[in-house]
Structure 1
Amino acid sequence: MAKALQIVFDFSCPYCYITWNYIKKLRQKLTFEDEWLTWNIHPEVGPEGKDITEVVPNFDRESRREKLNGLGAPVGVAPGGMTFVPDTRLPLQAVEFAAAHGRARDWCDAVFAANFEQGRNIGDKAVLFDIAIQLGLPVAELDQALASCQYAAILAEHDRRFTELQVEWVPTIFSGDKKILEGAFTYEEAEKVIRDTVK
C-alpha cells in the first residue's frame, strides 16, 4: 500500500502552488498518496483581496520574485510576480464540494492556475463558477453550498487542528504525525525527503 502524505495548503500561497507542481512531477516517478488539507492563512482578507504589501510585512518585491521563480523553475512555474492576495475562504470550501463529486484534484489544479497563471480573483464567486463549468461541476449546487457555508466547519476544524499542531507555514507536509517539509524548499529537497519517506 502506498504511503500517504498530508499537505497543508492555501490557494493564496505561492509556495503551495510551487509544491503542488513539485508533487505532480514526483507522482510520475514515486508511488505515494497525497491528501491536500485546506487552511485559510489570511482570514482578514476580504472578497476584494489585498495588495501583498498590506499582508506581508517588510515586503521586498525583487528578492521575493527571484526566490519564488528560482524555486519554481524545475517545474516550469514562475509565481514571483504575483502581488495580489485573494480571499481564499470560498475556493477552499469548494475543495470539499469538488471532493464530494470526485474532482478535488482537478479543482485545486484549476484554482491554482486561475490565481497564479491567469491572474484572476479566485475570491470572486463568478470566477469559481467559471471553473466549476470548466470541470463539469453543478454550479447551482456549488452556489448553494457556498451561500449556506456548508463546508465552513471543515475550515474551522482545520484551523483548530493546525494551530494545535503548531503548524507555522504553508505548505507543511506531514507523513503520519511527523512534519517532513515546511515553508520554502527546493524541488531537490522535496524529492529527497519524499523519496526517503515513501520508500
Structure 2
Amino acid sequence: MTNQYNLIKVSLGVLGLSLALGCLCLWGLNSTTNLGLTAFFRLGFAIGLIGAGLASLVGLVPLVYCLVRGNRISDLIRSLYTTYRIRRYAHFIPQAQTLSLEGKPLSTTQKVYQRANRSLLSLNVIIKGDKAVLSWYLPLNHESKQVLLDLLPNIRTELNLITKDFVFSDITSERGNQYQAKAHRIT
C-alpha cells in the first residue's frame, strides 16, 4: 500500500523549491542583462531555470500517480486530512531534555517516545469511495511497540470521531508489525 500522505508532502515540497529556484533564475537572467554581466552567468541561470522546470515535472509525478490510481480528488483530500489529524493525535510530546554530567540523556523514555513518533511516518489512512483503511507499521522495539499498543483503542475512537460517516474496526495485527483497521461507510 502506497503511503500517499508522504508522497504528496514530498512532491509539494519539490514543487515549492523548484518554483523558488525558477523565480530566482528568472530574476538572475533579467539582472545579468541589465548589469551587463558575462555570458557565463547567463548560461548558469539558464541551466538553473531548465533544472527548475525538470524538478517541477518530477514533483508532479507523485500527484499524477495518486490521481491515476483511481482516487477521486475529494477522497484524496479527505485521506490526507484524516492522516494528518490522526498523526497529530498519536504524536508524543517530548519531555525537556535532562543531561547527566557527561552530556548523556538520563532517561530512556525519550528514546522510546522518539521511536514511537518515528513510526507515525508509516501511519496512513486511505479513503476510497465507501471503504477506508488505516495501515500502520509499529516499531520493532518492545517498549515503543507496547506504548503504541496501549494507544490503539484511543486512536480507533479518534478515527471514528474524525470521519463521522465511517465506522472503523479494531486495529489488529495483519502481518508482523503491520497493523490495520478497515472501515465502511454508514448509510
TM over 0.5: no
Q: TM-score range by the shorter chain?
A: under 0.3
**More helix per residue:** 2
Higher normalized contact order (CA 8 Å, seq sep 6+, divided by chain length) = 1
TM-score (norm 2): 0.28
TM-score, structure 1 length as denominator? 0.26
Rg (Cα) greater in structure = 2
